[in-house]
Structure 1
Amino acid sequence: MKNRSLGFQIWAMFLLVIATLSIVILVVMRSSIGNFIDEQVYSTLENSEVFFSKDASVIDMLQDNPIEFDRRKQESRSVNILLLSKNGKLYYGGAPQQLIDQMYRDAINQKAETEKYTTQLDKEDVYYSILKIESEGETYYRVSYVWDAYRQELITQLFSKIGWVVVIVSILTLFIAFWLARRLTQPLIEIEGAVGKIAAQQWNTPLPLDRGDEIGRLARSVNAMRVDLEKQDKAQKALLQNISHDLKTPIMVIRSYAQSISDGIYPDGDLTGSVSVIEEEAERLEKKVAALLYVTKLDYFELDRSTWDTIDLDRMVHLLQSRFSSTKPLTWTITGEAGLVLGEGEQLRVALENVIDNAMRYAETSIDIRLSGTEEMAQIEIENDGPPLDSSSPLFHQFSRGKEGKFGLGLYIVKRIVERHDGEVSIENQAVGNGKDKVRVIFKFPRHFKPEID
């Protein structure tokens, strides 16, 4: 069923409901209605006994007032009446002798004043009740009976009306199912076609956004995905154009220097200087390739928190400061304590390392690192006195440009690592007076555990 169209599934569901309802009516209700009709038949038989009250003299009524007796008899409609004496004499009514004999046997054996009976005569059911009447010292038996044809007529009429109701309701239900199927499937078909066009990179594809239900929310989600994919597509095309140039440049330098050295020419004056240029360009190329591979690792490998360990952020920051401080003469200041967090140590080191490396690249005289924390959160602020940021540049985006127009992945890697640790990272310009600004990067990491408090 799930492999068929939604419209077919809706029709099938409505047909199943109709079929189930019909079966219930034909099987369950028929039995229930049959019992109900039986009760109504006996009730009719009992009501027909009104003019044969046990306190009335039936014989007197037959002899003295036949008109009144016949009028009351008509009130019993299709109910047949017999009046028997205790010795089997038939005073009133008529019926097949076999039926009269059966009724008489039941009457003389009856203990209660009134009893209900059912018998069969030539495969036809007969329903009757017997009322014992005592009058002037004599015992009479008043028998009210109907043939099964009366009961069957009632059932047939009732089921005929119910059948028409079921047919009309079924037709209306199928029309509703058809309308509902079109209402639900038409926008889904439009969304399906739009998704196919989006997959083919046709970004200007319209979607049914004028709905407030789940289908409308789905369309808006697909539209948001379309907008994001369009941005990603444009950024990736620009990345391919620009990063190919970034990768091509060091490769060209390495090849040209290697060719020159093989020809006995040293572009930087001597062999040592020329080889050092090759090494620098190879290092640049290695860093770019490593960054691309690291992004792939973060984006496509599942996060395994079972490998997380307790990380001392204070020790990690001091080790990174010791390592970087010898590469550029800057004034370093580290204050406060951030404490311990749970995380993946190598990834946290890469995140801090990328930010400190950027800070060193643009810092003019100093880098200030402030460590702090609460019971739930650890915070690290890394500040440098380099040129202020361009607020219009999305520096944490995967394909953002740097100040020199080159595509970088360092800050994007930082953002992905922090997000994988449920943390936050932001970058801002901080005014310090005298018309100068500092660039500040703020990390916030949840501890993922409650530290012990002394």
Structure 2
Amino acid sequence: MRKFKLSTQLIILFSTVTLFSSLVFGLISYRNYQTVYMGLAKNEVSTYIETIKYQPREVDNKSYLGYIDFIVKREGLFKVNLVGQPIYSDNVKEMTNNNEAIMLEILEKGYAGDQFEVHTKDKQTFYVLIRSVSKNPITQEDRYIIGVMDDSYINALKGTTAQEDVLLTFYGTFVAFAIITLIGNISLVLWSRFVANRVKKIKNEVSHFTSSGYQNELRLEGNDEIKELADAVESLRIEILRNEKTKQEMFQNLSHDLKTPISVISSYAEAIRDGVTDISDAQIIMKQADKLQQKVKMMLDINKLEYISDKSEYEDIALKNVIQNVVNNNRLRLQAFDVILDLDDSTFKGIKENYHTVVENIIDNAIRYAKSTLIIKLKNKELSFYNDGPDIEEKYIESLFKPYEKGSKGQFGLGMSIVQKTVNTFGLSLTVKNANPGVVFIIKEQ
């Protein structure tokens, strides 16, 4: 049904359900009338047989009723024999065209007494009830009478007012449901147009986002799922604006970060060339080149994350080995700290090179802020980095991982932003909290 509009789909669905319901209710009504017919027929036969069982006779003007009077003798528990010839009333003979085989079949099925509606072998329908008249315990002979009615009585009922009632029920049911379908479809058309217009408004606003630079605010009245969708789109618009602003600020800060070491390198190189300064100042150029290299590396790390999309490249990385390698590479920088490692053999899915960058950036951050202690734990798929540096103000915790976000003690830079983006790419979460004293970073599966 994708080729139909939403309003058309709703109308088709509603009409189908309504028409199907009308058919079901019509059939139920018909079956109810069949039950009523059978009840009337059974009452007619029962009244007749109770009236005549002690004095068998036929009733005037009721040619559809007759009886069978017979005697059976019980021999043992299960064997029963017919005694003499059964008496068939004139009406029974008339109903069966004086066919003895049919009359005997009616007697046998009536004596069995397991069904009111009897269908004979020649496909005639009769309605029978049996009543006991007398029992002789000495001779073991029992007399019974069976009331017999043909189907003319029910046919007569169906052909008169009852039949009209059935037709009226059918007509009434279909007319009622037709009216319900009409009113329902009109209501659905009006409602679906209202809903479609609200959806179209969201679509139109979204289509103008790029041309307006995401500046047009999406507002939608209501208190339903469509309003929730509009709110979600609006939240997405705001987040895109924030990201664009963050990118712009990041590029500005990167430009500044790159400009400073380049200026220093250029100035000292000219001074050395002109003989204004000593050759030993080349050491300053080398330090600035190292800073520049670090900045470029971070930019490359961020850029590489954009292209990690094939999860088939992921491996089970033993972070214990990665952590030990990074700590060993930074042993000179960590000499001033008490470094405690508590590592198990937990593994995380991802790419080893990127996890190396994650661990290196977090340790680099710890070196800048720690006083004396750095504790790294890897337990049960959870990796934590603790340093005993100053607490982070609560208002800056959420923004800690944004590039160049300004904190109370300056900018956070790119390092922690790279960490968060990397672990999120691998389906992990990164949180930070104050440990009072100190700060702990936690990486674990989402």
Q: Could you say which TM-score interval applies, normalised by the shorter chain?
A: 0.5 to 0.7
Q: Are the aligned partners of 2:126 and 2:149 in contact in 1 as well (CA < 8 Å)?
A: yes
Give the distance between the partners of 1:84 and 1:430, measured in 2 at CA.
Answer: 104
Q: Are the aligned partners of 2:48 and 2:147 in contact in 1 as well (CA < 8 Å)?
A: no
Unaligned stretches of 5+ in structure 2? 69-86, 134-144
State the TM-score, normalizing by the size of structure 1.
Answer: 0.63
Could you tell me which residue of structure 1 aligns to residue 374 of structure 2? 370
Match status 1:111 vs 2:107: yes
Greater shift, 303-312 or 248-257, is seen at: 248-257
Give the distance between the partners of 2:326 and 2:303, measured in 1 at CA.
Answer: 26
Could you tell me which residue of structure 2 aligns to residue 151 of structure 1? 158
Greater shift, 42-51 or 291-300, is seen at: 42-51
Give the distance between the partners of 1:24 and 1:221, measured in 2 at CA.
Answer: 43
Q: Are the aligned partners of 1:314 and 1:371 in contact in 2 as well (CA < 8 Å)?
A: no
Deviation sequence 1:55-103 (CA, Å, 0-9, x none): 34758x97xxxxxxxxxx7xxxxx765679979868xxxxxxxx94745
CA drift of 1:383 comes to 5.1
Q: Rate the CA distance shift 1:422–1:116 in 2: closer, same or farther, 3 A.
A: closer
Give the distance between the partners of 2:183 and 2:420, measured in 1 at CA.
Answer: 58
Q: Rate the CA distance shift 1:306–1:374 in 2: closer, same or farther, 3 A.
A: closer
CA drift of 1:271 comes to 11
SS at match of 1:381: strand
Q: Rate the CA distance shift 1:160–1:40 in 2: closer, same or farther, 3 A.
A: farther
Deviation sequence 1:323-379 (CA, Å, 0-9, x none): 446xxxxx702243322343465434423433454566x67xx85232264854554
Deviation sequence 1:135-187 (CA, Å, 0-9, x none): 9xxx9997563373642525423322332333244334435544653565454
Q: Are the aligned partners of 1:332 and 1:367 in contact in 2 as well (CA < 8 Å)?
A: no
The partner residue of 1:228 within 239, 257, 268 is: 239
Q: Are the aligned partners of 1:311 and 1:345 in contact in 2 as well (CA < 8 Å)?
A: no
Could you tell me which residue of structure 2 aligns to residue 287 of structure 1? 294
The partner residue of 1:319 within 293, 306, 328 is: 328
Could you tell me which residue of structure 1 aligns to residue 140 of structure 2? none
Could you tell me which residue of structure 2 aligns to residue 413 of structure 1? 418
CA drift of 1:126 comes to 9.2
CA drift of 1:407 comes to 8.7
Could you tell me which residue of structure 2 aligns to residue 49 of structure 1? 48
Could you tell me which residue of structure 2 aligns to residue 434 of structure 1? none
Q: Are the aligned partners of 1:312 and 1:339 in contact in 2 as well (CA < 8 Å)?
A: no
Residue identity over aligned pairs, in percent, reads 18
SS at match of 1:55: coil
The alignment of Structure 1 onto Structure 2 pairs a total of residues equal to 394
Could you tell me which residue of structure 1 aligns to residue 5 of structure 2? 5
Alignment of 1:338-377 (within 5 A): 338-340=342-344, 341-343=346-348, 345-357=352-364, 368-371=372-375, 373=377, 375-376=379-380, 377=382
Match status 1:397 vs 2:408: no
Give the distance between the partners of 1:45 and 1:149, measured in 2 at CA.
Answer: 13
State the TM-score, normalizing by the size of structure 2.
Answer: 0.64
Match status 1:208 vs 2:220: yes
Give the distance between the partners of 2:442 and 2:28, measured in 1 at CA.
Answer: 69
Give the distance between the partners of 2:184 and 2:97, measured in 1 at CA.
Answer: 51
CA drift of 1:400 comes to 2.2
Q: Rate the CA distance shift 1:267–1:409 in 2: closer, same or farther, 3 A.
A: farther
The partner residue of 2:230 within 219, 233, 238 is: 219
CA drift of 1:397 comes to 0.5
Q: Rate the CA distance shift 1:300–1:421 in 2: closer, same or farther, 3 A.
A: same
Could you tell me which residue of structure 2 aligns to residue 96 of structure 1? none
CA drift of 1:190 comes to 3.6
The partner residue of 1:332 within 330, 336, 350 is: 336
CA drift of 1:205 comes to 1.8
The partner residue of 1:296 within 273, 278, 303 is: 303
Q: Are the aligned partners of 1:126 and 1:147 in contact in 2 as well (CA < 8 Å)?
A: no
Give the distance between the partners of 2:433 and 2:103, measured in 1 at CA.
Answer: 108
SS at match of 2:53: coil
Coordinate RMSD, CA, aligned:
5.3
Q: Rate the CA distance shift 1:348–1:168 in 2: closer, same or farther, 3 A.
A: same
Could you tell me which residue of structure 1 aligns to residue 80 of structure 2? none
CA drift of 1:308 comes to 0.9
The partner residue of 1:170 within 175, 178, 181 is: 181
Match status 1:426 vs 2:400: no
Q: Are the aligned partners of 1:427 and 1:441 in contact in 2 as well (CA < 8 Å)?
A: yes
Could you tell me which residue of structure 1 aligns to residue 317 of structure 2? 308
Deviation sequence 1:232-271 (CA, Å, 0-9, x none): 122223334443455566678889999x89xxx9357489
Greater shift, 314-323 or 401-410, is seen at: 401-410
Give the distance between the partners of 1:4 and 1:10, measured in 2 at CA.
Answer: 10
CA drift of 1:412 comes to 1.0
Give the distance between the partners of 1:222 and 1:311, measured in 2 at CA.
Answer: 42
Give the distance between the partners of 2:147 and 2:319, measured in 1 at CA.
Answer: 101
CA drift of 1:294 comes to 1.0
Q: Rate the CA distance shift 1:407–1:423 in 2: closer, same or farther, 3 A.
A: closer
